Amino acid sequence: MPAVKKRPPREWLSRLLDSLLPVFATLAALFIGAVMLLFLRVNPLEAYKALWDGAFGSSNAIAETLVKATPLLLVALGICISFRGDVINIGGEGQMIVGAILATWVGLTFTTLPGWLVITFAMLAGFLGGALWGGIPGFLKAYFNVNEILSTVMMNAIAVQLMNYLLRGPMIDPAQAELASKIPQTAPLLDVFRLPRLVPTRLHLGALIAVILAILVYILLWRTTLGYRIRAVGQNPHAARYAGIQVQRYMVLALLLSGAFSGLAGATQVYGVNYRMITDGSASGFTGSAGFNGIVAALFGQLHPIWSIPASVLFGALLVGANKMQRMVQVPSALVIALNGLVVVFVVSSEIWRRRRQRQRLAAADHEEEEPPRAETGRAEAGA
């Protein structure tokens, strides 16, 4: 957050436009989507009305949007940390799964403890599970030069099979083990272990936890030595090493923390939404692809923990609304996925205008004021 001094009104407007840029880009993508809808002989206005209704049309819709946004935000917070540390974590899916497994195990094992204690332990277990699954690629990168994209892709696949194995074997619901159908799911959590709901909708405490953590991550990144060092390593590892920072250690830490937040996202999905773990054999069946979409949300939020909050809500709204659109006008769900892809491409492409204006502002300020915080997407200039 830049310190607000006296600025010319033009600049204020320009900053406002910047923050609305993802919204404009989304609308532009939906415009192309409208053409596709016309090809499917669907009235785009009717379709987008449904999309809007699904995302914001009622209190229940808003709650659903926020429920969807919660894991996105948690994953995004982790991504803010790892991308700032210049490590690319695309293992969010696996980290969510392992975090959820550990958290579920806590809830199914310590059934005699009070609810608040189990929930606390479970969230910690989720955090730990994710940290483990993110820490391994971090460790391998730092000490064995194993690229993190490779290891996280592989670890995602491993986590899925681990989940399948546990849910149809050692952790299967005892009731299902008796039946011929043997649905691969764990026993349900006790009612007292559920994350409390905030209003009479599906909106649960996890959303609040995520927002609080967003503030904590902001403090971590910009107000602590640890955060400073992670960012320093990310911006220029050579300079950081020269300054006496143990680069390896902070690489591991960045991935570990990033995984931890994804693991927590997995834990909140179990304790706030599903109340048990179920697998359909794929990662996304459980995660809803939040491990990937969270990356997108983080980038929409310019890799800033606070801005990631509205960005996650926007993206969550799009996901929830698009499903509603699918139901109301009966378009194939495939269109919804393609549309999501377009939105991502458009938003990420629109960044260039923000960067350009940022540079113009810089030039205008003529170095008399302090430099605004360098956004990660500005790494191009740093690296070039």
Partner 1 sequence: MKKSLWFISVLALLSLVLSACGTQAEKPAAPEKFRVAVVMPSAINDLAFSQSMYDALVRIQTEMGGPEKFEFVYSDGMFVVDDAAAAIRDYATQGYNLVIAHGSQYGSSLQEIAPDFPNTSFAWGTTVDTFGQPNIFAYEAASHEGGYVNGVLAATLTKSKVIGVVGPIETGDAKLYVDGFKAGVMATDPTVQVNVNYIGSFSDVALASEAATTHIAAGADAMTGTAQMVVGAIGKAKEANVLWFGTQSNQSSLAPNIVVASQVYHWEVVLREMISLIQNGTLGGKSFTANLANGGEVIEFNPDYPLDANAKALAEKTIQGIVDGSIKISLP
Partner 2 sequence: MISDLFSVTVLIGILASGIRLATPYLYAAIGETFSQKSGVLNLGVEGQMLLGAFAAFYVSLNTGSLWLGLLTAMLVGALMGLAMAYVTVNLQAQQGISGIGFYLFGLGMSDLLFQRLMGTVETVRGFPKIYIPFLSDIPGIGEIFFSQNILVYGAYLLVPLAWFVLNKTTLGLKIRAVGENPDAADSLGVNVGRIRYFTIILGGTLSGIAGASLSIALLNVFQQNMTSGQGFIAVALVYFGAWRPAGVLGGALLFSMVNSLQLWMQVKSVPIPSDIAVMLPYVLTILVLVATVSKVRAPSALTKPFEREN
| Chain positions contacting partner 1, by CB under 8 A | 24, 27-28, 30-31, 34, 45-46, 48-49, 52, 54, 64, 67-68, 160-161, 164, 168, 179-185, 188, 269, 273-276, 278-282, 284-286, 288-289, 319-320, 323-324, 326-327, 330, 332-334, 353
- Choose which of 341, 362, 370, 374 interacts with partner 2 (CB under 8 A): 341
290 beta partners: none
Stretch that binds partner 2, among 11-19, 121-129, 259-267, 336-344 (CB under 8 A): 336-344
Nearer to partner 2, 268 or 293 (CB): 293
Cβ contact 204:67 at 8 Å = yes
**Residue 116 contact, options partner 1, partner 2, none, Cβ 5-8 Å cut-off depending on partner type:** none
Q: Which of residues 86-105 bind partner 2 (CB under 8 A)?
A: 88, 90
The residue type found at 102 is L
The residue type found at 260 is A
Q: How far apart are CA 51 and CA 243, in angstroms?
A: 51
Integer CA distances (angstroms), 87 to 252, 324, 381, in order: 9, 36, 18
* Other beta carbons less than 10 A from residue 46's beta carbon: 13
Cβ contact 206:66 at 8 Å = no
Q: Does 338 bind partner 2 (CB under 8 A)?
A: yes
Degrees to nearest 5, angle at CA 267 with 229 and 121: 85
Tokens describing residue 144: 């064995």
* Other beta carbons less than 10 A from residue 341's beta carbon: 11
Q: Is residue 189 exposed (0-12), middle (13-18) or buried (19+ Cβ within 10 Å)?
A: buried
Give the shortest CB-30-to-partner 2 separation in angstroms.
14
Give the shortest CB-30-to-partner 1 separation in angstroms.
7
Stretch that binds partner 2, among 171-179, 186-194, 239-247, 347-355 (CB under 8 A): 347-355
Q: Does 292 bind partner 2 (CB under 8 A)?
A: yes
**Residue 183 contact, options partner 2, partner 1, none, Cβ 5-8 Å cut-off depending on partner type:** partner 1
Give the shortest CB-211-to-partner 1 separation in angstroms.
20
What x-and-dash track marks residues 304-333 binding partner 2 by CB under 8 A?
----------------------------x-
User: Residue 197, SS3?
Assistant: strand
What x-and-dash track marks residues 59-78 binding partner 2 by CB under 8 A?
--------------------
Nearer to partner 2, 127 or 261 (CB): 261
Upper half-sphere CA count for residue 124 (Cβ side, 13 Å): 7
Give alpha helix (H) positions in 57-114: 59-84, 92-109
Give the shortest CB-19-to-partner 1 separation in angstroms.
16
Integer CA distances (angstroms), 131 to 226, 230, 249, 276, in order: 17, 16, 14, 21
* Other beta carbons less than 10 A from residue 310's beta carbon: 17
**Contacts with partner 2, residue ranges (CB under 8 A):** 40, 88, 90, 140, 144-147, 149-151, 153-155, 157-158, 161-162, 164-165, 168-169, 292, 295-296, 299, 332, 334-345, 348-349, 351-352, 355, 377, 379-381, 383-384
